[in-house]
Structure 1
Amino acid sequence: MIELERCQPEKNMARYYRLEIECDLFGQLLARRTWGRIGRSGQSRSTPVASLEEAWAELRLWETRKRRRGYCDRP
């Protein structure tokens, strides 16, 4: 699991982004992204993937995108 956050008090911004790999009830691997305001449940989206390597590639892609936008590791 990868957890990132972006806090900018001057803009009243406190967001999180969570990336994880999970398996659904049918055994399908999923790359799940969950995001929202810190302290709230937020939204999530799951992408079915064929292999563990493909799942990690998907998560690394989103991690790179979010780090470019100012997200950093969650303490």
Structure 2
Amino acid sequence: MARFYALSLEPTLFGEVSLIRNWGRIGARGQIRCETFEQPEAAAAAFEHLQILKLRKGYLPKTAIHATANGTECDDVVYADD
């Protein structure tokens, strides 16, 4: 079953940083979770921690998927597994 997991850091209107997580089956909208951090460093640390966990579970960065599929690359932080 093909799945995706997307991570992004977004600024808020109040000077905080939100870590947005979106996951589910490829082709579906999936679920979204948003965590807000007062310090950008804390948000970046949480982002990196989740990134490491997903890579250990077998998810591949979208850049690796595109590079193997059609020879192109992009900078999206989306992960997928088969």
Shared topology, TM-score over 0.5?
yes
Q: What value does the CA root-mean-square deviation take over the aligned residues?
A: 1.4
Counterpart AA for 2:41: E
Name structure 1 gaps, 5 residues minimum: 1-12
Do structure 1's residue 39 and structure 2's residue 24 form an aligned pair? no
| Partner Cα separation in structure 2 for residue 67 and residue 56 of structure 1 | 17
Do structure 1's residue 68 and structure 2's residue 56 form an aligned pair? yes
Q: Number of residues paired by the alignment?
A: 63
Tell me by how many angstroms 1:26 deviates. 4.2
Tell me by how many angstroms 1:32 deviates. 0.9
TM-score, normalized by length of structure 2? 0.68
Name structure 2 gaps, 5 residues minimum: 67-82
Counterpart AA for 1:30: S
Q: Normalized per residue, which structure has more strand?
A: 1
Moved more, 48-57 or 17-26: 17-26
Q: Is the 8 A contact 2:16 2:39 kept in 1?
A: no
Aligned-pair identity (%): 40
